[in-house]
Structure 1
Amino acid sequence: MKRDALWRSIDTERQALVEQLEPLDAEEWATPSLCTGLSVREVLAHMTVSGAVSAPRWFLGVLRARFDFDRQVHERLNEQLGSDHRDTLVLFRSTIGSRTSPPLPRVALLGEMLVHGEDIRRPLGLVRAYPRQSLDAVLSYYAGTDQVVIAKKRIAGLRLEATDSGLTIGQGKAVRGTSLALIMGMTGRRAYCAELSGPGASILADRCS
């Protein structure tokens, strides 16, 4: 995907998530997400960072945290929480159309919208039909890198077969499933591994532990 198309896709995912989260009550916002130790509200605040913090501000935060990246992530998340869940949603909504971002490839930002979007949606019982172009781009990106999240290493020696697109990536024991299930499995979300099949499925599930 070209740069402009990636930005449009990022905006599409941000808008779609806002629309699905607007009706939630305070109790639902406190629902544990698929990210261990983080609520739905906290994950959304984390997602806001990628549309609100520029590369210089990000590097400054790293220095302030003395290269403790977990501390940096936590501090940035808290900046975007706001006083309540309504503020959290307003802050996230403000990233729609933003071209500000930390020093990450645009496709990595799109991947964050899909993966963290599912970290939020799955526990809430929400479903999204993601555009095919976005799924293919994110699946291919994560299969080739460990830059943002361990994914390439997790699928080493496996062949991913997307049953909804015919896209095949890698060599080895087959892991079959929808593009979304493959993306979530290769990024460590064990909850999606039950949707995968093939001789390599159990191997990937073990690597998500």
Structure 2
Amino acid sequence: MTSDWQTVHRERRALAEDLASLSTQEWATASLCEGWDVHDVVAHLTGSARTTRRRFWLSLIRAGFSFDRANAREVAAERAPTPAETLLRFESTITSTTAPPGPLITRLIEIVVHGEDIRRPLGLRRPATPLELRDTLAYVAQDRLSGGKKRLNGLRLAATDGGFTVGSGQTVQGPALSLLLAASGRTAALQDLRGPGLALLQGRLGA
């Protein structure tokens, strides 16, 4: 199933609903994104959903072509003084179809992965539809920019809840969502995985 904006909007809406139930202390919880708390990740998602191609390139140029500096500026700009205000900003982007350069499937990868960056440290769960993640895994496995291709080279990912595989080589199996998170560099998802290729993947993630 190929990503479309309706799917992206559904995932944004589901995350907004989860965020609405959080306390101020929970917004300050460290996310799976190193150096960012929940509040920072929501600010990043808001900025990304507002970023046009032109704005993306201008921001990157001003940051000296450093993605880290560009992201830090984006978070600072979109992080409001209170979580409630930041949530309102995020909610205003739920149905946005504005996007930085890249195929549409990267929008689905972003909201699903960052959604889990927020939910997992808080003990929240949102079951993803496994077949909707098949194309996201295939994309990440070939993506040099995100490091996915390097992480997954020589590995065969088998989704135990989706009945599909991606790649070839030593097998790593587990839930499709956990496979996507590990493919995106999240070591927290490794505990859900198993198979002869797991040790290789753990080594590549520095776990």
Q: Which structure 2 residues correspond to residues 13-32 of structure 1 after superposition, within 5 A?
A: 13-32=11-30
Moved more, 129-138 or 85-94: 129-138
Deviation at 1:146, TM superposition (A): 2.2
Which string of whole-angstrom CA distances, capped at 9 and with x for unpartnered residues, describes residues 101-134 of structure 1?
Answer: 1112110110011111100000011000112342
Deviation at 1:179, TM superposition (A): 0.4
Deviation at 1:53, TM superposition (A): 1.2
Q: Structure 1 regions of 5+ residues with no counterpart?
A: none
1:187 maps to which of 184, 188, 193: 184
Deviation at 1:190, TM superposition (A): 0.7
Structure 1 residue runs of 4 or more that deviate by more than 4 Å after TM superposition: none
Give the whole-Å Cα distance in 2 for the aligned partners of 1:183 and 1:145.
Answer: 13
Matched, 1:152 2:149: yes
Give the whole-Å Cα distance in 2 for the aligned partners of 1:78 and 1:188.
Answer: 24
1:91 maps to which of 75, 82, 89: 89
Q: Which structure 2 residues correspond to residues 20-59 of structure 1 after superposition, within 5 A?
A: 20-59=18-57
Structure 2 residue aligned with 1:135:
133
The question of whether the paired residues in 2 share the 8 Å contact of 1:50 and 1:109 is answered with: no
1:72 maps to which of 70, 73, 77: 70
Structure 2 residue aligned with 1:112:
110
Query: Which amino acid is the alignment partner of residue 144 of structure 1?
Result: Q
Query: Which amino acid is the alignment partner of residue 198 of structure 1?
Result: G
- Paired residues, what number? 206
Which string of whole-angstrom CA distances, capped at 9 and with x for unpartnered residues, describes residues 57-80 of structure 1?
Answer: 111111212222211110011111
- TM-score between the two structures when normalised by the length of structure 2: 0.95
Structure 2 residue aligned with 1:199:
196
Superposition RMSD on alpha carbons, in Å? 1.2
Deviation at 1:23, TM superposition (A): 1.2
Secondary structure of residue in 2 paired with 1:100? coil
Structure 1 residue aligned with 2:205:
208
1:165 maps to which of 151, 162, 165: 162
